[in-house]
């Protein structure tokens, strides 16, 4: 008996004892009909890899393509088809496959077996294959007549230009640097983001046409906000966060040889700093701090070092030397409250000879008679509410240093454009990435809140959609709970020219028993915008132990690191990439294992025959004969991916 919260009577009995709702006999479980009349329904859900991806990539989709489950159409190669699926969300697969810290891998359900799928490595494979094959982006030939000013040529700005161009909108990208790429170029060392690959991926966006890049042009200095408002139909602020935070010590700003990680890495990436001082301490714990100490170990110092190290960092002098004459730094130390950098990055830094001290915070910077830092005091600490707190009576460690680098955070440089910012050195934006109370202004990336490169790419995709809606005066729809780029079954069926026919209500006299009709996709529900599937919904017993196929990393030892600028991550070859993609469990989507067909005791579940009637495609590989189905739910029990649920078909 069902009761509602409005009922005045309460029944305090239970209809069943625990376990009474289960068949005790395996024979009855398989052959006795289920009187609930539930039959197999096919439910598409979002896998946790995609749910964890800030760019919102259809990760399961392009893994399915690489492994050969989803086959290309239009004569495309597997590599190009995977590239097109991947770049629907992210135009930088070669870069993200190398440097993204991969929250997708942390979310991967395969962690509950032996190890996550190497998503990054397969993405790098897709990106490198696209460069090798010189794959191009498609763009509509007809333009909307609208033009967007994009301020910032980092991952957010360039991704937005790409997404807008796919919608038919032109853009001009302004940046105060010479090169495109933002922090991908100026904030990450070249042995992690190879410059040839980065430039290729940026140029591929420009090659779409009607996207102009204006480098060495600072909005607020060389061009005003008013000019942008007059000359463009919308403005996207993608300024990034290119100013580093100093340590929270009273004398930080007064000490000349204390610099930020942002300035240190930009000087290196511009080629201006080709060596550094002898004793370096970097305070941080994230990936940026790892880059600082790894760069210091690679460029080393000079035997006849006779300058102020901050002069090169801050661009007052530019080195032009034979780096073969450099010698190793005396010491490179990384001080961290806690290490939040990727585990393999920390391991690499340790191998390269960086001394890592964890669980400490800066206490005091010691200076000499000239007011220059010569050491830093560190004290034991704990984290309380996300803030480091010194331990009372904790051990104090003093580390000698002639250059101290702060890598504790970044913020946006709003000089000249303060009117669009807030008092936190950022720009406010709503869930659609519109700037409140400034019609036609939008924002994306670190200018909203510093986070990952992949987060900026995800912002750009939504911002571009909002700009398109703004141009079309469209009502903004509520953003979905799982706001990602999802596999579209109807689009896939259209590719195979088997899309449902138009519905004609004049032809339908009885709407019952319509599972054989061809005007809809029956017994299928796309819940991917609402649900992320967990491992508890999978049949994990289907999957065998299958260890990860690792990329080869070129990580030098402490005696080899000096002058070592070879690329760190070596990509997978074709066979290995396919093997790694094949480890994907296809959570929330059929991957054509045939379990439901094999184990159905009534032969009710069958494969859709290729080329006859409705040919099979991914997501519609099997169908159910409801005249045979008795609702025994065996198909759902043995479905490895959780794609089959028992429901009321239609």
DSSP-derived secondary structure for 415-475: TT-GGG--TTSS----TT-BPTT-TTEEE-GGGTS---HHHHHHHHHHHHHHHHHHHTTPP
Residue pair 648/626 in contact (Cβ under 8 Å)? The answer is no
Distance CA 268, CA 265 (A): 5
Long-range CB contact pairs, 609-612, < 8 A, 24+? none
Distance CA 432, CA 452 (A): 19
The answer on pLDDT for 558 being more than 60 is: yes
Query: Quick one: what percent of the chain has pLDDT higher than 70?
Result: 91
Closest-CA residue to 452 (of 95, 142, 109, 194): 95
State the average pLDDT over residues 190-204.
Answer: 97
Distance CA 301, CA 512 (A): 80
Distance CA 271, CA 319 (A): 8
17: confidence class by pLDDT, cuts 50, 70, 90: low
Closest-CA residue to 100 (of 193, 21, 11): 193
Distance CA 17, CA 483 (A): 41
CA dihedral 601, 602, 603, 606 (to 10 degrees): -100
Q: What average pLDDT does the structure give for the chain?
A: 91
Distance CA 225, CA 151 (A): 10
Q: What is the pLDDT of residue 36?
A: 62
Q: What is the pLDDT of residue 495?
A: 87
Give 325's DSSP letter: G
Q: Which residues contact 234 (CB under 8 A, 6 or more apart)?
A: 146, 148, 149, 440, 441, 442, 467, 470, 471
The answer on pLDDT for 576 being more than 90 is: yes
CATH tag for 147-242+412-471 (out of 3.40.50.150, 3.30.110.40, 3.40.1390.10, 3.50.50.60): 3.50.50.60
7: confidence class by pLDDT, cuts 50, 70, 90: very low
Query: How many residues are listed for the chain in this entry?
Result: 650
Q: What does the block give as tokens for 594?
A: 């045939």
CA dihedral 475, 476, 482, 486 (to 10 degrees): 60
Find the range with the poorest average confidence among 72-81, 535-544, 611-620: 611-620
Q: What is the pLDDT of residue 433?
A: 98
Parallel, antiparallel, or unpaired: how do β-strands 373-384 and 360-367 relate? antiparallel
Find the range with the poorest average confidence among 8-17, 54-63, 286-295: 8-17
Residue pair 617/590 in contact (Cβ under 8 Å)? The answer is no
Number of H helices, E strands in the chain: 20, 23
Domain with CATH 3.30.70 in the chain: 22-45+488-527+589-650
Distance CA 291, CA 407 (A): 10
Distance CA 430, CA 98 (A): 31
Residue with the bigger pLDDT between 521 and 295: it is: 295
What topology does CATH give the domain 244-410? FAD/NAD(P)-binding domain (3.50.50)
613: confidence class by pLDDT, cuts 50, 70, 90: very low
Residue pair 522/503 in contact (Cβ under 8 Å)? The answer is no
Place of tokens 């960092």: 313
CA dihedral 200, 201, 204, 209 (to 10 degrees): -120
Q: What does the block give as tokens for 290?
A: 């790892």
Q: What is the pLDDT of residue 385?
A: 87
**3 state SS of 261:** helix
State the average pLDDT over residues 452-460.
Answer: 97
Q: Where are the alpha helices (DSSP H) in 55-138?
A: 59-67, 78-86, 93-99, 103-107, 119-133
Q: What is the pLDDT of residue 34?
A: 58
Q: What does the longest C-alpha to C-alpha distance in the chain come to?
A: 96
The answer on pLDDT for 178 being more than 90 is: yes
Residue pair 378/356 in contact (Cβ under 8 Å)? The answer is no
- Other C-beta atoms closer than 10 Å to the C-beta of 136 total 12
Domain with CATH 3.50.50.60 in the chain: 147-242+412-471, 244-410
416: confidence class by pLDDT, cuts 50, 70, 90: very high
**Which pLDDT tens digit goes with each residue over 221-274?**
999 999 999 999 999 999 999 999 999 998 999 999 999 999 999 999 999 999
13: confidence class by pLDDT, cuts 50, 70, 90: very low
Residue pair 411/377 in contact (Cβ under 8 Å)? The answer is no
Q: Which CATH class is domain 22-45+488-527+589-650?
A: alpha beta
Q: What is the pLDDT of residue 649?
A: 53
């Amino acid at each position: 008996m069902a009761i509602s919260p409005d009922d005045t009577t309460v029944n305090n009995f239970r209809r069943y004892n625990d376990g009474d709702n289960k068949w005790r006999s395996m024979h009855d479980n398989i052959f006795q009909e289920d009187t609930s009349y539930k039959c197999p329904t096919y439910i598409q859900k979002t896998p946790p890899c995609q749910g964890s991806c800030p760019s919102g990539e259809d990760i399961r989709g392009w893994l399915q393509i690489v492994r050969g489950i989803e086959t290309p159409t239009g004569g495309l190669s597997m590599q190009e088809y995977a590239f097109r699926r991947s770049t629907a969300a992210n135009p930088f697969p070669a870069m993200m496959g190398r440097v993204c810290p991969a929250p997708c891998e942390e979310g991967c359900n395969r962690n509950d077996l032996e190890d996550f799928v190497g998503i990054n490595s397969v993405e790098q494979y897709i990106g490198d294959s696209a460069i090798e094959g010189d794959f191009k982006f498609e763009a509509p030939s007809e333009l909307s007549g609208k033009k967007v000013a994009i301020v910032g040529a980092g991952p957010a700005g360039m991704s937005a230009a790409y997404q807008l161009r796919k919608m038919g909108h032109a853009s001009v990208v302004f940046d105060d640097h010479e090169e495109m790429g933002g922090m991908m170029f100026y904030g990450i060392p070249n042995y992690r983001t190879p410059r040839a690959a980065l430039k290729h991926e940026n140029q591929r966006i420009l090659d779409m046409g009607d996207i102009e890049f204006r480098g060495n042009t600072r909005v607020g200095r060389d061009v005003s906000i008013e000019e942008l408002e007059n000359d463009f139909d919308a403005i996207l602020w993608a300024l990034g966060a290119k100013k580093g935070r100093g340590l929270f010590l009273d004398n930080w700003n007064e000490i000349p040889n204390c610099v930020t990680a942002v300035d240190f890495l930009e000087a290196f990436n511009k080629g201006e700093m080709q060596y550094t001082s002898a004793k370096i301490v970097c305070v941080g714990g994230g990936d940026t701090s790892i880059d600082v100490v790894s760069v210091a170990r690679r460029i080393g110092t000079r035997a006849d070092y006779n300058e102020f190290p901050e002069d090169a960092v801050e661009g007052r002098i530019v080195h032009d030397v034979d780096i073969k004459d450099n010698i190793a730094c005396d010491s490179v130390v990384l001080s961290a409250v806690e290490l939040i950098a990727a585990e393999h990055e920390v391991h690499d830094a340790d191998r390269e000879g960086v001394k890592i001290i964890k669980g400490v915070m800066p206490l005091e910077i010691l200076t000499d008679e000239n007011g220059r830092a010569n050491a830093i005091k560190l004290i034991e600490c704990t984290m309380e509410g996300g803030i480091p707190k010194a331990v009372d009576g904790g051990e104090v460690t003093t580390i000698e240093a002639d250059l101290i680098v702060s890598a504790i955070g970044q913020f946006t440089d709003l000089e000249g454009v303060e009117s669009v910012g807030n008092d936190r050195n950022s720009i406010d934006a709503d869930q659609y990435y519109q700037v409140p109370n400034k019609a036609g202004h939008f924002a994306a990336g670190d200018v909203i809140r510093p986070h990952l490169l992949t987060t900026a790419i995800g912002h750009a995709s939504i911002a571009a959609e909002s700009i398109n809606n703004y141009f079309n005066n469209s009502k903004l729809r509520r953003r979905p709970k799982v706001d990602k780029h999802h596999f579209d079954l109807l689009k896939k069926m259209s590719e195979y020219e088997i899309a449902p026919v138009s519905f004609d209500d004049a032809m339908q006299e009885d709407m019952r028993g319509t599972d054989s009709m061809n005007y809809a996709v029956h017994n299928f529900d796309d819940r991917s915008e609402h649900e992320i599937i967990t491992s508890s919904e999978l049949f994990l017993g289907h999957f065998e132990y299958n260890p990860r196929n690792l990329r080869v990393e070129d990580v030098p030892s402490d005696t080899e690191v000096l002058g070592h600028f070879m690329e760190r991550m070596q990509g997978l070859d074709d066979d290995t990439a396919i093997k790694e993609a094949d480890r994907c469990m296809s959570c929330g989507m059929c991957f054509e294992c045939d379990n439901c067909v094999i184990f159905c005791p009534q032969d009710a579940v069958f494969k859709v025959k290729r080329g006859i009637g409705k040919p099979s495609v991914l997501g519609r590989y099997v169908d159910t004969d409801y005249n045979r189905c008795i609702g025994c739910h065996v198909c759902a029990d043995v479905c490895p991916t959780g794609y089959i649920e028992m429901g009321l078909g239609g």
